[in-house]
Amino acid sequence: MDAKAPRAATSRYHEVYAQWQRDPEGFWAEAAREIDWFEPFKKVFDPSMGVYGRWFAGGVLNTCYNALDRHVIGGRGGQAALIYDSPVTGAQASFSYDEMLFEVATLAAILQDFGVGKGDRVIIYMPLVPEAVFAMLACARIGAVHSVVFGGFAAKELAKRIDDAKPKLILSASCGIEPGRIVKYKPLLDEAVAMAEFKPSACIVLQRPQEQAKLDEGRDHDWAALRDAAIAARKSADCVPVLATDPLYILYTSGTTGIPKGVVRDNGGHAVALKWSMKNLYGVDPGEVWWCGSDIGWVVGHSYIVYGPLIHGATSIMYEGKPVGTPDAGAYWRVISQHGAVAFFTAPTAFRAIKKEDPDAKLLPKYDLSKFRTLFLAGERADPPTVEWAEQKLNKPVVDHWWQTETGWCIAGNPVGLGMLPVKHGSATVPMPGWDIRVVDESCREVPNGTIGSIVAKLPMPPGAFPTLWQQDERFREAYLDEFPGYYKTADAGFRDEDGYVHVMGRTDDIINVAGHRLSTGGMEEVLAAHPDVAECAVIGMADSLKGEVPCGFVVMKAGVTRDAAAIEKEIVALVRERIGPVAAFKLAITVPRLPKTRSGKILRGTMKKIADGESWTMPATIEDPKVLEEIGEAVKGRGG
Ligand code: COA
Ligand code: AMP
């Protein structure tokens, strides 16, 4: 199928993809030569291990060694590893590979003093500051398993992750900074620890100048004081060898219920895949400056703020700011130009924000972008108007690429390093080596080109993709493998075109994508249903010109509730913010007399979404009472629908 993709005379994609198809193990064994192993793997892929097999079985390595030590040994010690650029605080800093190694080895020794060892979990609940990256690498250095929790989540979400991961230690900070407001982390942390059944033995808190958190004498420790003491005592931890198949991190992502899924990433496959991607997909060389404008709370931040660029020996920019308002819509151009980034990776929503504020890109000519080569977009569907705008204004290639928390790196993209294929707006281009992508119907039969179906990937998934969910093999099987035997269910719907290009159109489950953030409407419904006046509810993702989608909750009040509907709606909005967090961007609850249902009682969320989006819709044949849809139409009028 992939052989049909349009041929660009200069692209090696077809040759490389065919090489992988002919000999998948040989392909990844070759890629693994780019990683430093303490002991070679015994099998490239062992189908008898784990749920569907494991990559690089028996291999011994350390991810932190590959990200830092080997570059220092190889002569990159003086090169910047991390550039911290924070318009929200006015701070800027640069850490060389030498300096990073020092910080990480010191922090790793501190973690060891707290009894953290191989396999122990550590939760990192931090804003986008260099210490958060040191923390991730320090865990990797001593074989501990980190789990980063995004700062925009509320205490309850953090508590769920504490109970699932059972961390020995939590690393946090006094605050995060959102434009116009300081987000105090410590009260959220305290509330989460109080709420969780599992109690970590200690918390290490980084006091930021913007906010001094009150430390609990027994449990909390001051980050800077521990660092000073460790340096004075010349403490430094060596790399602990781990198996390629040992977990490096757990990253929780939205599932179809309020219980997040603990996506597990291993050490070996992850290092091999990310290293391969930096050159072949992103076209970046070691020593070059790369910028990924995400947050370390998301998979994109894990892979391409931290591990990918560092394992590659590149310089990674970490940006604590927004595309607009910090201070203006020229912020991204400023960062690219000031630090000499050759490539930049962000979510389409960020470009929609810039386009809205500065439609003619008047701020762009102020900056020298001569070193800049490529813009990469992912996290949500890249809408063609936004891609066209970015291409025109930047006069550089804009590459949409598709991936998920579960996959850890790109499933389909346009491989810049192998030579770009022709761009088709609205398509993520072609599968990367390792991904055998099929579009199928409910019976797992392939559908013709151009027909929308479920997108699945033939097992095994490539190195870097998740081997399982944290201590939940059965949930992993049920959620991802059982529906289409022999395949990984991406839960995305889309089609292949006549050239083999992949077009990803939307989810097949209840996940919505809000400003590039993945959220479960099922999780939000659980919160709405918990309001004492609510009898029934349904949450849908409503089209939004900036964020792609925003949640909208329809609620039916319990019989006998006489309180003002507007007041109850306000309480519901506040409840979602309190229970899930501001990141849910839940601002709209609408009271309706009843919900549209099929005769078997299924809520017709798809039709409600079409009504809310103002799209044409057809009356479902199985509807219980057609009048209800008229009521929904009436209710959304003037409410953003
Ligand atoms: N800590 C605490 N709160 C956070 C947060 C964090 N780390 N990140 C976001 N929030 C808050 C925001 O302040 C906002 O709060 P509000 O309701 O009080 O305004 C809320 O969560 C929703 O955030 P968001 O959906 O991001 O909306 P926004 O209006 O603040 O910003 C964009 C919109 C488009 C500018 C922003 O989403 C963005 O820069 N996105 C592109 C990069 C990205 O995040 N990519 C995702 C992974 S690739
Ligand atoms: P996350 O796990 O948060 O990275 O979100 C993954 C989901 O975002 C995918 O399952 C898709 O629904 C969506 N997504 C990510 N990248 C793209 C893309 N390039 N095109 C379309 N959808 C995307």
Has residue 132 been placed in a domain?
no
Choice between 256 and 212, residue whose per-residue pLDDT is larger? 212
Is any ligand 2 atom within 6 A of the Cβ of residue 71? no
- Which ligand has the minimum distance to the alpha carbon of residue 180? 1
Is any ligand 2 atom within 6 A of the Cβ of residue 510? no
Residue ID of nearest Cα to ligand 1 atom 38: 350
Residue ID of nearest Cα to ligand 1 atom 5: 152
Structural domain of residue 591, as residue ranges? 515-636
Residue ID of nearest Cα to ligand 2 atom 19: 402
Tell me the C-alpha distance between 492 and 482, whole Å.
16
Per-chain mean pLDDT for the chain: 96
Has residue 595 been placed in a domain?
yes
Atom of ligand 2 nearest to the CA of 406: 2
Atom of ligand 1 nearest to the CA of 324: 35
DSSP letter assigned to residue 74: I
Q: How far is the CA of 350 from the centre of ligand 1 (A)?
A: 10
Has residue 523 been placed in a domain?
yes
The yes-or-no verdict on residue 574 having pLDDT over 70 is: yes
The yes-or-no verdict on residue 294 having pLDDT over 90 is: yes
Residue ID of nearest Cα to ligand 2 atom 5: 404
Helix (H, G, I), strand (E, B) or coil at 211: strand
Residue ID of nearest Cα to ligand 2 atom 4: 404
Is any ligand 2 atom within 6 A of the Cβ of residue 275? no
- Which residue among 189, 292, 409, 583 is best mutated to probe the pocket of ligand 1, counting the most ligand atoms within 8 A of its Cβ? 583
Tell me the C-alpha distance between 101 and 186, whole Å.
28
Tell me the C-alpha distance between 455 and 347, whole Å.
21
Over residues 64-85, the pLDDT tens digits come to: 999 999 999 999 999 999 999 9
Residue ID of nearest Cα to ligand 2 atom 14: 380
Least confident stretch, 53-67, 249-263, 589-603: 249-263
Residues lining ligand 1, Cβ inside 6 A = 151-152, 176, 178, 183, 293-295, 298, 300, 322-323, 346-347, 349-350, 353, 379, 514-517, 547, 582-583, 585
- Which residue among 398, 435, 490, 513 is best mutated to probe the pocket of ligand 2, counting the most ligand atoms within 8 A of its Cβ? 513
Query: Per-residue DSSP letters for 583-640?
Result: GG----EEE-S---BBTTS-B-HHHHHHHHHT------TTBS-THHHHHHHHHHTTTT
Q: How far is the CA of 145 from the centre of ligand 2 (A)?
A: 25
Tell me the C-alpha distance between 96 and 87, whole Å.
21
Show Cβ contacts of residue 269 under 8 Å, excluding neighbours closer than 6 positions. Answer: 54, 55, 56, 244, 462, 463, 464, 465, 467
Is any ligand 2 atom within 6 A of the Cβ of residue 605? no
Q: How confident is the model at residue 134 (pLDDT cuts 50, 70, 90)?
A: very high
Cis link prior to 348 (omega < 30° from 0)?
no
The yes-or-no verdict on residue 330 having pLDDT over 90 is: yes
Has residue 44 been placed in a domain?
no
| 74, two tokens | 């190889």
Has residue 632 been placed in a domain?
yes
Residue ID of nearest Cα to ligand 1 atom 15: 582
Has residue 13 been placed in a domain?
no
Percentage of the chain lying above the pLDDT 70 cut: 98
- Which residue among 150, 305, 403 is best mutated to probe the pocket of ligand 2, counting the most ligand atoms within 8 A of its Cβ? 403
| pLDDT value of position 472 | 96
Atom of ligand 1 nearest to the CA of 128: 7
| 503, two tokens | 């077009």
| pLDDT value of position 528 | 97
Contact 283, 123 (CB under 8 A): no
Tell me the C-alpha distance between 632 and 595, whole Å.
8
Least confident stretch, 210-214, 233-237, 631-635: 631-635
Q: What integer is the mean pLDDT of 290-315?
A: 98
Q: How far is the CA of 486 from the centre of ligand 1 (A)?
A: 37
Has residue 524 been placed in a domain?
yes
Closest CA to 426 of 348, 491, 352, 360: 348
Rg over alpha carbons for the chain, rounded to the nearest Å, is 24
| pLDDT value of position 2 | 45
Contact 68, 81 (CB under 8 A): yes
Has residue 604 been placed in a domain?
yes
Helix (H, G, I), strand (E, B) or coil at 422: coil
Q: How confident is the model at residue 130 (pLDDT cuts 50, 70, 90)?
A: very high
DSSP letter assigned to residue 240: P
Contact 316, 293 (CB under 8 A): no
| Distance (Å) of CA 348 to CA 19, 325, 392, 416 | 32, 17, 15, 19
Q: What integer is the mean pLDDT of 581-610?
A: 93
Q: How far is the CA of 181 from the centre of ligand 1 (A)?
A: 12
Report how many domains make up the chain: 1
- Which ligand has the minimum distance to the alpha carbon of residue 454? 2
Residue ID of nearest Cα to ligand 1 atom 28: 515
Q: What integer is the mean pLDDT of 576-596?
A: 96
Q: How confident is the model at residue 623 (pLDDT cuts 50, 70, 90)?
A: confident
| pLDDT value of position 638 | 76
Show Cβ contacts of residue 46 under 8 Å, excluding neighbours closer than 6 positions. Answer: 53, 54, 57, 58
Q: How far is the CA of 624 from the centre of ligand 2 (A)?
A: 34
- Which ligand has the minimum distance to the alpha carbon of residue 504? 2
Q: How confident is the model at residue 1 (pLDDT cuts 50, 70, 90)?
A: very low
Q: What integer is the mean pLDDT of 258-274?
A: 94
Over residues 159-186, the pLDDT tens digits come to: 999 999 999 999 999 999 999 999 999 9
| pLDDT value of position 7 | 57
CATH of the domain at 566: 3.30.300.30
DSSP letter assigned to residue 283: -
Tell me the C-alpha distance between 353 and 290, whole Å.
22
| 470, two tokens | 């944290």
Diameter of the chain by CA atoms? 75
| pLDDT value of position 454 | 97
Q: How confident is the model at residue 3 (pLDDT cuts 50, 70, 90)?
A: very low
The yes-or-no verdict on residue 256 having pLDDT over 90 is: no
Q: How confident is the model at residue 200 (pLDDT cuts 50, 70, 90)?
A: very high
| Distance (Å) of CA 360 to CA 351, 353, 525 | 13, 13, 40
Is any ligand 2 atom within 6 A of the Cβ of residue 504? yes
Contact 131, 82 (CB under 8 A): no
| pLDDT value of position 10 | 85
The yes-or-no verdict on residue 141 having pLDDT over 60 is: yes
DSSP letter assigned to residue 39: B
| Distance (Å) of CA 402 to CA 270, 296, 410, 522, 543 | 17, 18, 6, 23, 20
Atom of ligand 1 nearest to the CA of 298: 47
H, E, C per residue of 481-526? HCCCCCEEEEEEEEEECCCCCEEEEEECCCEEEECCEEEEHHHHHH
